[in-house]
Structure 1
């Protein structure tokens, strides 16, 4: 009976999205921001490395060969390129993105002491922030958020543990300073609301390439392979990115599906984990794919094959990183490479 009900819900979901009626199709369609960082044309006119075609490893070698004065000059004249270029030393990226934040009205991101790893002001804005010392970290985690996150909302004070910044801060605190760096990564164009974008994989596919390049940039700067914590639609991004990136762990939490039938379908050597609270509304979303809609199997289902993360005391869709929860304690252990 439950299976028949979920199948019926899936058909209704598909019909609702395609017809554009009320309900699920309540979001605003988004176009992913793709291509090189803003300012790349001026950068390349000076004969500097192509931001798209040059690998993060080659970018790292290019910057390592520059004098400190030349590095500072590039930060000053090309902040939007330097600040978003994976492979650039992180301190240079922080300095460049502080300039971009001030120039484009992202005042909170320009506050002293903030370590903004990426800031693309185009569209709704995309941002990433580091908590901890990425240069000396023995363990690295990346928080990949779901819908409604951008450069202006990713550290909002409302519902803090539902934002990438709040999740990242809480996770780092839970590791108790074990030389851990956590990256809050709102580095892709996310869906807005529960519209067609949230039901399809288009934005996730665009985000997957950017996430894979982030991981390549971590490799290029000597950081350890990260643990990815992929919330909601962010788990769709991680599922599509998994075959293309080096990661120690991939954790899907509050996931509508990863566009994979099972762990083997992800084609990753990482440990794969899944968490879902009994009170999470995501459980009402059918785990199907129909005419390009929906994201497939539930990562917490036994047949999927992921390791389960205890999440019985997490409240709702955004309570997984709340202090004191079993899920947060488990996330900290995963970040540190421990077994549960």
Structure 2
């Protein structure tokens, strides 16, 4: 291998696996001499890569953590993943993180090849983040999301092109779907595709980790009006709203405007109280009764749960348990 830069990149790629390689192993993998291996290791060290060498009959080389971070060697999927993660972090209003993420993203995009820059841009334009607080409904991560699947869904969403794909429902039964994709929604734990289901003639949100073999139809569809403020609100309503397994009706003893200000996005739907301007109604829900109870209990607003009865009973029992556990009991004297 006579191309020194390409040889150094190949050597770095091998060392980034984390294991230790002997000089002869590296020489064989790179088709070079042991002397060239030693010379290239020295070049990597000059560039700032912390390559450690062990001495002895079975000694070798490995890449260790350094004090400063030299340039990274990323494959296509890794580069896209890092760029998307930085974009999402830059959009969050977290002190010290958003600005740093934006700077890092700008540096990364300068060195991304055009094909990857377009891929990242398409995914970003098609994605709406959903971030809610303790009364919201961000689910825990579940299932792996394929990067190529995300790319296909994002491209179809931005182009307004129909999609067909296999889908595994809640009960695990596979089925086929024909949809008009609208937007992707990322919750930090899961990805959802918001789309108009052609067969069911209604809007749906699909978990991306349950989608398989998405195929663009090649047919463009006219824009439809989403029955929600945006794609994130539509997904939030599906997770914590009236379409959830448990539907909760809660009276909030604050005016509607104050409730709207204090509730996080995706907590549920607010309605005016026809009898009093000093209170309002929250319509929310969830697929798990215990998690729904915890979300409502964490809401720092005076309230009364009106339905369902099983939620009222669960909250009463939870309150009694917490009261008992919160009482201080004297420790027994030491023998």
Highest RCO, 1 vs 2 (Cα 8 Å, sep ≥ 6): 1
Higher strand share: 2
Which TM class, normalised by the smaller chain length?
under 0.3
Q: What's the TM-score, normalizing by structure 2?
A: 0.23
Bigger CA radius of gyration: 2
